[in-house]
Structure 1
């Protein structure tokens, strides 16, 4: 009991994950081996994520062992990666109504898993290991359907729901506590070089199928309606919608990325 209490005080996120994992084994014994190897055999969330990422991204071209060693090195070298992983997990739990336990994103949610893979690729990119970073990008795209350039910058508390056909370009920057749904593109507008991708502020909600194109700024706590094509700067705390997108009203709440409210009111329309 003392060890459990100590773990909870040091890392409450990992303590909750392991508690849920033990309960899950009792409820579904057929998944016991999977849950033990993925979670209960590890001492930290970093170790578990290194194992899960290596298992998902390994192939005949790159073994699970090599990928796990790379992941272990990244987590040991930069504690921020593990802290961001915890923030992403809590964000997913709080914002996705389909997420009922902390263990679900690590085991089952490809949006969460893809972002954690990106974070390792970004670490490689920042350490000059660009070809290996591109390998991570390629495998994440192949396995999860999420294409995030390893040079892109993502903050903490990122939640990508459903995570199908996500594209985030090389010079894109995404702030903290951002939520986006499937088929979102943060892309360029052509073949221009240099800084050519969007900058997304903190607390932004990006609806399904939205395309944000070019070196533009999406202000803090704004909201982009599903299916919109955004080609110009978005003021903070506003809602934009349409093709091309235009301001249709206020954001509707102080933190749209957390409430996940995507409905436009009659006044906005």
Structure 2
């Protein structure tokens, strides 16, 4: 298995591209040489680079970077889907965020990508029954990135969280593949109920900045939630909802709203409003 991973790392196009970008960046900005070498060029694979970068960000006086690095390396070795999801997330950010021009940017600079990868490690701990350590990772992610994702939440691959400030995702929330969301989104409960109490976001959904999706409700695939909306009821697939409380205001407008990041609302009466003023 180790030999197979080594061969895959040699032909990994995502990792090769990141290394090439880091070499060019080092040439153009020598002052970043230490960062580029320690975070990218020193490592033989994306998995090793992620383990280093996440442990560096989450390390504190309460738990050293070295201890965090050991469990991160263990997680990537144990579960190959972690690295696969990270690659999908990297490509998602590059394709959807107009402020991203290189694959190395999310790895080095974008807290949305970094926080999601740290959550994935916490979720691995949660699934292994190591609940207290998972809670510790959740706490450090919140402190370091301003993002609170419960380690019990289930999040798919190809996730893009733009700006990524004040994101909250609850314990029983489910987020499908190829979902995009902007800052200040909450996937929360509606009170003190136990058991299954958080939203289920299906594949391809776009959630605008400041939107709140509350309760054990389902947001259908390829739908759009306008910025600032409060969603309290199920959303059918391929629809656009807006308002407080949110109501259906039209079709989604395209097959994959989370990929196009089209947030313009074509409202009844021929007027057009912007569901979110800044996606980059």
Which bracket does the TM-score occupy, shorter chain normalised?
A: over 0.9
Structure 2 counterpart of 1:56: 57
Contact kept? 1:175, 1:202, Cα under 8 Å: yes
Q: Does the 8 Å CA contact 1:7/1:15 hold for their aligned counterparts?
A: no
**Counterpart position of 1:99:** 100
What's the counterpart of residue 47 of structure 1?
A: 48
Q: Check conservation: 1:8, 1:16, Cα contact below 8 A.
A: no
- Secondary structure of 1:226's aligned partner: coil
TM-score (norm 2): 0.93
Aligned with 2:91: secondary structure?
Answer: helix
SS of structure 2 residue aligned to 1:62: coil
Classify the secondary structure of the residue corresponding to 1:239: strand
2:89 is aligned to 88
Task: Give the Cα separation in 1 of the matches to 2:8 and 2:132.
Answer: 38
What is the alpha-carbon root mean square deviation over aligned residues? 1.2
Deviations 1:8-57 (A, max 9, x none): 87210000000000000000000001100000000000000000000000
Counterparts in 2 of 1:264 and 1:187: CA distance versus 1, 3 Å: same
Residues 56 and 9 of structure 1: CA distance in aligned 2, closer, same or farther (over 3 Å): closer
Q: Distance in 2 between matches of 1:139 and 1:117?
A: 9
Structure 1 CA distance for aligned equivalents of residues 11 and 34 of structure 2: 27
Partner of 2:160: 159
Give the alignment's TM-score, normalised by structure 1: 0.96
2:235 aligns with: 234
Say if 2:238 is the partner of 1:251: no
Number of corresponding residues: 264
Q: Which runs of 4+ in 1 moved over 6 A?
A: 6-9
2:203 alignment counterpart? 202
Give a deviation string over 1:142-196, Cα, whole Å, max 9, x none: 0101100000000000000000000000000000000000000000000000000
**Separation of aligned partners in 1, 2:151 and 2:118:** 10
Q: Secondary structure at the match of 1:18?
A: helix
Instruction: Tell me if 1:123 matches 2:119.
Output: no
TM-fit CA distance, 1:265: 1.2
What secondary structure, in the 3-state scheme, does the structure 1 residue paired with 2:266 have? Answer: coil
CA contact under 8 A between 1:165 and 1:182: conserved in structure 2?
yes
Cα distance in 1 between the residues matched to 2:148 and 2:159: 15
2: CA distance between counterparts of 1:39 and 1:22?
Answer: 9
User: Residue 262 of structure 1: CA displacement?
Assistant: 0.6
Kindly state the Cα deviation for residue 266 of structure 1 after the two structures are TM-superposed.
Answer: 3.6
Deviation of 1:7 (Å): 7.3
8 Å CA contact 2:9, 2:45 repeated in 1: no
After superposition, the Cα gap between the structure-2 partners of 1:196 and 1:7, relative to the gap in structure 1 and judged at 3 Å, is: closer
Where does the alignment leave 5 or more consecutive residues of structure 1 unmatched? 1-5
Cα distance between partner residues in 1 of 2:19 and 2:95: 19
Structure-1 residue corresponding to 2:277: none
Distance change in 2, residues 1:266/1:244 (3 Å): closer
Task: Report 1:144-183 matches (<5 A).
Answer: 144-183=145-184
How far apart, in 2, do the equivalents of 1:237 and 1:10 lie?
Answer: 38
Deviations 1:171-230 (A, max 9, x none): 000000000000000000000000000000000000000000000000000000000000
* Alpha carbons of structure 1 residues 9 and 254: separation in structure 2 relative to 1, 3 Å: farther
